[in-house]
């Protein structure tokens, strides 16, 4: 599988006012790096309204905003730890809210071709050791190390 974690998409302290702000700020990094088209952020925001991506895990809440492949130039996964949690709707239950502490934003061109990436991302959610490493990562180096270790 090709590389999907890039240094410019690792943010140890994203200071966002709400979920939309977090998506806009983080999405701007994907755009600046040439990973996505200029339609990406708006498409992620629109999708998040209809299909929330927040997850409450054991000891941590996160969100994994993404959208369809037509807005993506090349596949990538970004990891941002939020300076303070922001509210996202819970995946599969939009009435439930989660206070996301971390974002795993995905730029996926072809979901069929990216099965390995999706498996790795989902694996982080069920791996207590991985979650603990992401949660404990207090600076860029530690967050980048965890992202490359678990997400490639």
pTM of this prediction?
A: 0.91
Q: Is the pLDDT of residue 114 over 80?
A: no
Q: Which residue has the tokens 């890039």?
A: 6
For residue 101, what is the domain's CATH number?
3.40.930.10
**Which residue range forms the structural domain that includes residue 122?**
5-151
- pLDDT tens sequence across 54-93: 999 888 899 999 988 899 999 999 999 999 999 999 988 8
| Structural domains counted in the chain | 1
Least confident segment among 21-35, 76-90, 116-130: 116-130
At residue 38, does pLDDT exceed 90?
yes
CA distances from 135 to 65, 103, 143, 147 (A): 18, 12, 9, 12
């Amino acid at each position: 599988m090709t590389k999907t974690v890039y240094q410019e998409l690792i943010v140890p302290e994203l200071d966002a006012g709400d979920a939309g702000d977090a998506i806009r700020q983080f999405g701007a990094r994907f755009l600046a790096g040439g990973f996505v088209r200029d339609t990406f952020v708006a498409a992620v925001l629109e999708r998040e309204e209809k299909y929330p991506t927040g997850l409450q895990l054991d000891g941590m809440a996160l969100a994994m905003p993404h959208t369809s492949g037509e807005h993506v130039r090349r596949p990538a996964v970004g990891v941002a730890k939020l300076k303070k949690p922001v509210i996202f709707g819970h995946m599969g239950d939009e009435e439930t809210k989660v206070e996301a502490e971390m974002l795993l934003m995905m730029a996926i061109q072809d979901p069929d071709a990216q099965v390995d990436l999706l498996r790795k991302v989902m694996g982080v959610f069920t791996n207590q050791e991985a979650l603990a490493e992401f949660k404990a990562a207090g600076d860029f180096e530690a967050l980048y190390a965890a992202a490359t270790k678990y997400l490639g």
